[in-house]
Structure 1
């Protein structure tokens, strides 16, 4: 992959991410974009918790799905887009931390379907990063569909 192509996919992902109201709402930021891998971080916010004060499972799932989707975006043509077609999240530990890191990685690239996996971590100053969730999912590559473009 040429330097120009690599810059192009990074810039395309940054533009797309900036248009996501959901990511703004949860305070998520793109932290790392590599071919086949993306990391998103977000701070803890009480407004995103469930009744026990833990990060809500829906927020964890949303961030993991976004990380996997953008990891897949690094591998598709500029004229294509992606839609999630399925995912499964395993919640492994309570979502308790000062910040959260969500990493998505492409497991199986494809021209029509892309499979991804991801991990979510709780980060705090007192302890090492703790694995709180994992995801496996798949994306459909979309081309030429009205209203769905990058």
Structure 2
């Protein structure tokens, strides 16, 4: 369910997300869109694990990167796009859970550079467990051929 008032922004984000082969491959879905915040959820899948059965760090990174980019999409002009130029991830606990939630929030909006902070959580019957945090930097792209929404 969308928490954002602007349906055009929500539609744009969902259409862009649907074009991401990586998110489709891992079975990720957007569960929340609000100004400056996006949440992505993902179910446990053995095919996304590392050798110990934990959610792979690459999958965690990809989901947090996408959540951060789409949180930034809620704040940019519709004729602009984004590319991640840097991120730093801390893996705090093994990715062990039935589902996973990746939430990112914009900490520094900008015209050219946007910074976001994200958190990844493992969800089970008990309280959500923090498994990762990410700070990412995105560059706003305008008028570049082949890069849009």
Q: Could you say whether these structures have the same fold, taking a TM-score greater than 0.5 normalized by the shorter chain as the test? A: yes
Query: How many angstroms does 1:6 deviate by?
Result: 1.3
Superposition pairs for residues 99-118 of structure 1, below 5 Å? 99-118=99-118
Query: How many angstroms does 1:5 deviate by?
Result: 7.1
Q: Distance in 1 between matches of 2:82 and 2:51?
A: 33
Kindly indicate whether residue 94 of structure 2 is the aligned counterpart of residue 94 of structure 1: yes
Superposition pairs for residues 26-105 of structure 1, below 5 Å? 26-105=26-105
Q: Distance in 2 between matches of 1:52 and 1:14?
A: 33
Query: How many angstroms does 1:134 deviate by?
Result: 0.2
3-state SS in 2 of match to 1:128: coil
Q: Distance in 1 between matches of 2:28 and 2:9?
A: 19
Relative to 1, partners in 2 of residues 1:91 and 1:12: Cα closer, same or farther, differing over 3 Å? same
Alpha-carbon RMSD across the aligned residues, in angstroms, is: 1.1
Q: Distance in 1 between matches of 2:127 and 2:117?
A: 22
Query: How many angstroms does 1:22 deviate by?
Result: 0.4
Deviations 1:52-75 (A, max 9, x none): 010000000000000000000000
Q: Distance in 2 between matches of 1:121 and 1:6?
A: 27
Q: Which residue of 1 aligns with 2:135?
A: 136
**Number of aligned residue pairs:** 146
Superposed structure 1 runs of 4+ greater than 2 Å apart: none
The runs of 5 or more residues in structure 2 that have no matched partner are none
Q: Distance in 2 between matches of 1:76 and 1:5?
A: 15
State the TM-score, normalizing by the size of structure 2: 0.96
Deviations 1:66-115 (A, max 9, x none): 00000000000000000000000000000000000000100000000000
Q: Distance in 1 between matches of 2:87 and 2:15?
A: 24
